[in-house]
Structure 1
């Protein structure tokens, strides 16, 4: 997680042997910088970048593993000046 990240909500559920967790965080930085952080750090944790896009200041990153696990990260500027809002959704085998 980026330094100083603040969790604002989280949830999880299990279905069909997959555990899915969702986490919303706020990071004191620009959305672009937070996107670069995850593009660099996620592969160090075994995630392969499957897809990424940027449109109108929103960033979408999708990662996967050889075990068909998935990580989707949505990043945008928040309504709070100077902060990026990040939503992470992780699906792993339960």
Structure 2
């Protein structure tokens, strides 16, 4: 399973998102330190979930990081997170 597919599976299970976008931005970092050949090391995610309603931005980030702990310890070098409650999503 690809890293992006693993991220999708884990975020779906953890947050039951109304919206989930996962963008592999590894190509923007090719040749940089810690950017492996073949990509799948730098991602941007947008997660819109009712579970984020009333939760601080920092706590949302922590929850996403916890859900992806194994990936952040391994193949994922950088993760940009936009975690929103439905009332905040545009």
Interval of TM-score (by shorter of Structure 1 and Structure 2) = 0.3 to 0.5
Structure (1 or 2) with the greater strand fraction? 1
TM-score by length of 2: 0.36
